[in-house]
Structure 1
Amino acid sequence: MASSSSSSFLVSPSPRTGNNRRIELAGFDLWTGLHIDNLFVYPSEINIDRFKEALSRTLSLWPLVAGHIRAEDNEHYFIEMSDNPIPVTLVVNNALNKWPRDSNVIVELSENVLSPYVDEIRVIDLADNSQDEPLVRLKLTHIVQSGEWVLGVSWSHILGDAAANLHFLNTLSCYYQQIEPLGPSPIFQRRLWREDEADESFLSLMKQMRDAKPMAEIMKASMGDQQSYDPVNLQFSGEQLARLRTLAGGNSVSVQDALSAYIILTLNTYCYYNNDERRILRTNTAINYRGVSDSIGPKGLVANGVLMMLSDDFDDPYSLSSIAKTIRRSINKSREPKFLGTWIATADGLMRKIFRNKYSIDMRLIPNEIVVNSHTRYDWAGLVDFGYTNKCRFYTAWTGALYLRAFLLNPVKHENEWLPRDQNGSEIAFRVETDLKEKFLNAWKQDISENFENVKK
């Protein structure tokens, strides 16, 4: 028997609803070189006929996803809702005896976990109107010996951010189960920002975009960070997070504020104490701005609806509550419509400039800052479970130097038994200097054993 076999098929929207309508892209949607790749692992069969039917219905409700990129005058870019089919690859794997990973959500790119299970979309040249590369590719893998199935998704960042991606996949999961999607309905029209709505004084809040560079330069710096920083992956129970939140300020901060503050406090206390160059003084937080104002970004917006919010300096970088409350103040400020509109308009203009220059955003380490990108408000495993409640596991790749990524915990399978899922727990991963990793982990283990009794509030 062959170790694996592969076939593919195309799924078209039914009924067709795109009718070649065009949606013009804002500057902040011109993420041409980036795609979001994720995996979902299911304990048993994904029925192919039901999957095809569900995908066909989903594409009918989401005609943007079945569209193609079009350009006019190299100045205006559109997604034309051309009702094109989406390619799906099906692999039958006889070699593996079971899915080889544990339940950690975040894996290392270098481990090559995702690539065998994902058909990556190709980088789209926005100026090439003859190019008909799909904006999403799907891949199903049947692990025959265990009966498990894997869904790999590659989603163009031009379509939208992770929240838009999850919204689409949740619709697919609901239609597969023959239930109505949760809503809100997808909204494809996005606001186009004018230059006179921008404010140059905001440029200091967006250093990574302001200091964009050619990709080769960025990759060189990034490779250096990857070599001198080691990955750290931590899991916190819902009970532990509730305790941290109480210590950090209770209801005046969120669970994520408290978790971010704890990581920063531990780094500052045990790794960067009295080190002016490395001590963390500010956060740069990814914030979903949907729902703040319908004129800026309604709840169902399918686009890149995220801003990066730089906090003020912490009043006390060695105090859990001081750090958490500073983070919360910055998030509250980002949700003031006037501030938000000016931030997006300024970033939108920068993105158009970056795109014209063929540059990339410089995601390098900035002294005294840490990035927070939390997905704990999104239950990826639960919302794309195809009916396998608390038995679907979700995986994503990449950790960055002092770049905090947080997700809800995956369900855990112990031998042949699924354990009750901790719905309120979180996994957080990032990279820390190789020579400081052990110090950090020892401090964390000590805090866990003492139930955070000696954490400085």
Structure 2
Amino acid sequence: MLKSFISPLESTGKNCRIQLSGLDLWITLRITRLFVYPKEINIDKLKESVSRALSIWPIMSGRYIVIDNDKHFIEMSDNPIPFCFIKNDLLDKSPFDSNMILNVIDCSYLSFIDPIDVDKLVGGSLDEPLLRLKLTHIEKSNEWIIGVSGSHIVGDGDTFLKFFNQISRFYQDIYTIEFYPIFERHLWNKDDFNQSILSRIKYVSECRSCEETQKKIFDDQKNLYQINLEFSSEQINKLRCLADDGNQITNQDALIAYIISTLNRYCYPKTDQRHILHATTVINFRGVSDSIASKDFAGNGFFLLTSDDFEDSESILNIAKTIRQSINQSRDPIYLQSCLSTVDHLMRQLINDNKSSNVFFFNNDIFINSNYRYDWINLVDFGYKDQCRYYSPWTGRLYISVSRLNPFFDGNNWIRTDKNGAYLAFLIENDMKDLFINAYKNDIQQSFQYVKL
């Protein structure tokens, strides 16, 4: 393994400090991404492209510091980031198939990343970088894998996607800058705390200890079964037409409504304490109001919001409508500000109490984290259009991860024929997996003719 460092092309951070909000304090979480390419990634050109991008994104080469125990900053100190390169002559090919969500119990993906040490970040660290990169060349198949490990303090998936899109563009000699990221955070007033919305943000209002959460994560990964589903764009359009009753239902709304309806009809009947009554969606709040976060905001521009209970928990029409209503409600700047001020306060409190956010201990809930709006595959393709494969580890019990479909291998090449198709993954109890999968297969064969409207 060859280890080196990549410095920013120009020192633009100038040790400027960006004060973090409570919404950024995902201190022990990483953003982990793997990108697999069918042919060579030129090492020198990659490092040069990263260097250029760091000059525009100095927050990526900064350090996390804490002052007086409650003031959190990223100091944009223009530090070099670690870069590893390794040649693998043991594997015949990449170990990853078409499933984009990797099970964390199967640790094979770990050899393709250089993980940041999140334990060192607790309390701040002038030594631990917020981003590490690793490039692996699988010699027998000539595949090249870029592994990314970043601190969630820096930003969410949207932030890292835009950063790596800039690297990909520089690598292809596209030097126009489409936008300049905005790093400054909105600092919320704790006096705007809203007690009435706590039931809508239970992931921070009903926290558990870090030990309980870690045990639950491990137990679920070990004991539950990962469902992996693929939907063609034609199937998605069919579901959206079925689920839309004039409520401006999106493709994602229709997909999630179908999953919930199927789970409730075939796995969790109304007599089951796990019957799904509402949905919690990861909401991207960029662009709702520039005073909160513009569309160019580079940080953690999300929160989780629980819908009202479904009036008919088996009807895809009612489920989709209810989910869309909660998302639309979050687009009201006044309501959004109330939510974010409250989440900010609770996030700071759970850090002080050494507790963890909670998406694991609710019986009647389902969680939705969708990347469907983002075409990671072509936005980080390094010139290999429709041939890059994208992977990310972890999903949880009834925690639905949604992405665009990966390319598939036709025997000679990796090709992508359906750019608007969707991949979904989540964990489910082993005694429920066959019930769900059989219902899904029957619906596909029957073109969703018997779904409950």
- Give me the TM-score of the superposition, normalised by structure 2: 0.97
The partner residue of 2:284 within 278, 282, 288 is 288
Gaps of 5+ in 2: none
Which position in structure 2 is the counterpart of 1:431?
427
Asked if 2 retains the 8 angstrom alpha-carbon contact of 1:74 and 1:127, the reply is no
Q: CA–CA distance in 2 between the matches of 1:203 and 1:170? A: 36
Which position in structure 2 is the counterpart of 1:3?
none
**Is 338-347 or 361-370 further displaced after alignment?**
361-370
The partner residue of 1:165 within 153, 160, 163 is 160
Give the secondary structure class of the aligned counterpart of 2:52: helix
Equivalent AA in structure 2 for residue 112 of structure 1:
C
**Is 208-217 or 431-440 further displaced after alignment?**
208-217
- Does the C-alpha gap of structure 1 residues 436 and 127 become closer, same or farther in structure 2, counting only changes over 3 Å? closer
Which position in structure 2 is the counterpart of 1:46?
41
Q: CA–CA distance in 1 between the matches of 2:126 and 2:10? A: 24
Equivalent AA in structure 1 for residue 226 of structure 2:
P
- Does the C-alpha gap of structure 1 residues 282 and 446 become closer, same or farther in structure 2, counting only changes over 3 Å? same
Give the secondary structure class of the aligned counterpart of 1:351: helix
**Is 92-101 or 329-338 further displaced after alignment?**
92-101
1:448 paired with 2:453, answer no
> Offset at 1:85?
0.3
Which position in structure 1 is the counterpart of 2:127?
132
Give the secondary structure class of the aligned counterpart of 1:365: coil
> Offset at 1:95?
1.4
Which position in structure 2 is the counterpart of 1:373?
369
Equivalent AA in structure 1 for residue 31 of structure 2:
I
**Is 218-227 or 310-319 further displaced after alignment?**
218-227
**Is 179-188 or 28-37 further displaced after alignment?**
179-188
> Offset at 1:284?
0.3
Asked if 1 retains the 8 angstrom alpha-carbon contact of 2:28 and 2:121, the reply is no
Asked if 1 retains the 8 angstrom alpha-carbon contact of 2:9 and 2:51, the reply is yes
Structure 1 moving runs of 4+ over 6 Å: none
> Offset at 1:178?
1.2
- Does the C-alpha gap of structure 1 residues 434 and 327 become closer, same or farther in structure 2, counting only changes over 3 Å? same
> Offset at 1:276?
4.5
The partner residue of 1:76 within 60, 71, 74 is 71
Which position in structure 2 is the counterpart of 1:247?
242
- Does the C-alpha gap of structure 1 residues 181 and 261 become closer, same or farther in structure 2, counting only changes over 3 Å? farther
Asked if 2 retains the 8 angstrom alpha-carbon contact of 1:77 and 1:126, the reply is no
Give the secondary structure class of the aligned counterpart of 2:154: coil
**Is 262-271 or 227-236 further displaced after alignment?**
227-236
The partner residue of 1:27 within 19, 22, 26 is 22
Give the secondary structure class of the aligned counterpart of 1:65: helix
Q: CA–CA distance in 2 between the matches of 1:419 and 1:77? A: 45
Q: CA–CA distance in 2 between the matches of 1:426 and 1:347? A: 30
Alignment RMSD: 1.5
Q: CA–CA distance in 2 between the matches of 1:148 and 1:126? A: 33
The partner residue of 2:316 within 313, 320, 335 is 320
1:362 paired with 2:340, answer no
Asked if 2 retains the 8 angstrom alpha-carbon contact of 1:71 and 1:127, the reply is no
Gaps of 5+ in 1: 1-5
Give the secondary structure class of the aligned counterpart of 1:447: helix
Equivalent AA in structure 2 for residue 167 of structure 1:
K
Asked if 1 retains the 8 angstrom alpha-carbon contact of 2:203 and 2:304, the reply is no
Asked if 2 retains the 8 angstrom alpha-carbon contact of 1:71 and 1:126, the reply is no
Identity of aligned residues (%): 47
- Does the C-alpha gap of structure 1 residues 349 and 432 become closer, same or farther in structure 2, counting only changes over 3 Å? same
Count of matched residue positions in the alignment of Structure 1 and Structure 2: 452
Asked if 2 retains the 8 angstrom alpha-carbon contact of 1:124 and 1:133, the reply is no
